[in-house]
Amino acid sequence: MSIGVHKAKPKDKTLPILEASDRDELLNWLRQQPLLLEHDEFVVCHAGVSPQWTLKQAKKCAKKVANKLRGDSWQSLIKNMYSNEPDSWSSELKGIERLRYIINAYTRMRFCFPDGRLDMNCKLPPSEVNPSEYVPWFALPSREPLNKTVIFGHWAALGGYVSEEVIGLDTGCVWGGELTMIRWEDKALFSQPAL
């Protein structure tokens, strides 16, 4: 299954998976996973839901990429998916440009520019950026309402973030912080220091 797309970087923490004897099985399993899970009261994703999408659009986009990853041409998608462009959603996006935006929103997004374009570079906590330059994706005033809470990770610099509309659970376990989970019924948070 190895397709040699990029050289692994130790800081990415993926070397144990890529060097595992059952690597192909692990990567195949990962390709089968959805980008968005939906519950009656919330959705779960890695980095967030594009502020330019309705829930219907978000589900449709997630399904489109998941189907490509499960299909026969998944290697082509993997080889061509990494880029910071396009940085703005449009229903006119086609082909790899459309897929790339969807992947970036679900896997890499943190901040947006005030006009809604995605910024793929800044990884700081919101308190350390100029709000006229960068806005957390979930705080963009023009964000489409989803009418469900979004539970996400990916942004360890948030240190965990809870509001009515979003719950960021990443508390930096992979960097030596804690692994945090939520009990949905009462919104209680539980953390375990990294081992």
- The C-alpha atoms of residue 170 and residue 181 are separated, in whole angstroms, by 9
Q: Provide the pLDDT confidence category of residue 1 given band limits of 50, 70 and 90.
A: very low
pTM: 0.93
For residue 166, count CB atoms less than 10 angstroms from its CB and return exposed for 0-12, middle for 13-18, buried for 19 or more: buried
| Mean pLDDT confidence for 96-109 | 98
Cβ atoms of 122 and 110 closer than 8 Å: yes
Is residue 151 assigned to a domain?
yes
pLDDT higher than 80, residue 10: no
pLDDT higher than 90, residue 44: yes
Is residue 139 assigned to a domain?
yes
pLDDT higher than 90, residue 59: yes
- The C-alpha atoms of residue 158 and residue 172 are separated, in whole angstroms, by 9
Is residue 11 assigned to a domain?
no
What's the pLDDT at 12? 72
- The C-alpha atoms of residue 47 and residue 20 are separated, in whole angstroms, by 26
What's the pLDDT at 3? 53
CATH at residue 99: 3.60.21.10
Q: Kindly report the number of other CB atoms within 10 A of residue 88's CB atom.
A: 15
Amino acid symbol at 143: R
Cβ atoms of 47 and 110 closer than 8 Å: yes
Report pLDDT digits (tens) over 138-186: 999 999 999 999 999 999 999 999 999 999 999 999 999 999 999 999 9
- The C-alpha atoms of residue 72 and residue 176 are separated, in whole angstroms, by 37
What's the pLDDT at 7? 76
**Percentages of the chain per state (helix, strand, coil), in multiples of 5:** 35, 20, 50
Is residue 141 assigned to a domain?
yes
Is residue 74 assigned to a domain?
yes
Is residue 2 assigned to a domain?
no
Domain that holds residue 159: 22-193
- The C-alpha atoms of residue 182 and residue 170 are separated, in whole angstroms, by 11
First to last CA, the chain: 31
Is residue 171 assigned to a domain?
yes
Report pLDDT digits (tens) over 128-149: 999 999 999 999 999 999 999 9
- Provide the mean pLDDT of the chain: 94
pLDDT higher than 50, residue 88: yes
Q: In the chain, how many domains are there?
A: 1
Is residue 68 assigned to a domain?
yes
Cβ atoms of 43 and 37 closer than 8 Å: yes
